[in-house]
């Protein structure tokens, strides 16, 4: 029997075998960890200069009221990224987060096959989502969020990449 440190992904496959609903949501991977920051350019400089991350995308999302950047760790183009979120208006959710808690981890996001389907299934399981319909996220993705009160205090984002949908 391998120790915890020797456990390989193939050894862990049995952990979800037979678990009702384990694959139904279509969760594919951890997409990113979102960090609220007061000033985007300073945060990008910190993470690129201190940890050697690469900034691979920046945009302003007017619907969400944020400027954001996606940073990659190392050469893993398919791996989870770090998302930096800075408010562009004092009434944005990120501005309110910074006012209440200060800078720090704001969300954990998962890539899903179909955000509408995942949201519907989570609602059937009694969880609240922040939006009735998906909204536009980073790089044209479709997103929704599980209410933190229903997810152990964690704001969980569901991300369907732009190349997965047509509308």
Q: What is the CATH number of the domain that holds 139?
A: 3.10.180.10
36 and 96 together in one domain = yes
19-70 pLDDT, tens digit per residue, is 556 578 999 999 999 999 999 999 999 999 999 999 999 999 998 899 999 9
Supply the pLDDT for residue 3: 46
Q: pTM higher than 0.85, yes or no?
A: no
Number of C-beta neighbours around residue 32 at 10 A? 21
What is the average pLDDT score of the chain?
Answer: 88
Torsion of CA 114, 111, 88, 40, to 10 degrees: -160
**Is there a domain that residue 3 lies in?**
no
In which domain, by residue range, is 92 found? 28-103
Among the candidates 103, 135, 151, a domain finishes at: 103
Eight-class DSSP state of 53:
-
Alpha helices in 70-158 (DSSP H): 93-101, 115-124
**Range among 5-14, 71-80, 95-104 rated most confident:** 95-104
C-alpha–C-alpha distance, residues 159 and 142, integer Å: 6
52 burial class (0-12, 13-18, 19+ CB within 10 angstroms)? Answer: exposed
Does residue 4 have a pLDDT over 50?
no
């Amino acid at each position: 029997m391998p120790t915890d440190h020797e456990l390989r992904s193939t050894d862990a496959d049995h952990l979800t075998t037979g678990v009702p609903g384990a694959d139904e949501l279509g969760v594919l991977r951890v997409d990113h960890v979102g960090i609220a920051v007061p000033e985007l350019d300073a945060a990008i400089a910190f993470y690129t200069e201190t940890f050697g991350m690469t900034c691979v995308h920046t945009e302003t999302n007017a619907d969400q009221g944020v400027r954001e950047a996606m940073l990659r760790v190392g050469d893993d183009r398919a791996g989870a990224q770090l998302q930096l979120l800075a408010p562009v208006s004092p009434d944005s959710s990120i501005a309110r987060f910074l006012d209440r808690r200060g800078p720090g981890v704001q969300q954990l996001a998962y890539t899903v096959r179909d955000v509408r389907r995942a949201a519907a299934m989570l609602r059937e399981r009694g969880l609240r989502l922040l939006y009735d319909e998906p909204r536009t996220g980073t790089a044209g993705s479709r997103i929704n969020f599980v209410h933190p009160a229903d997810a152990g205090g964690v704001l969980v984002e569901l991300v369907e990449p732009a190349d997965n949908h047509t509308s």
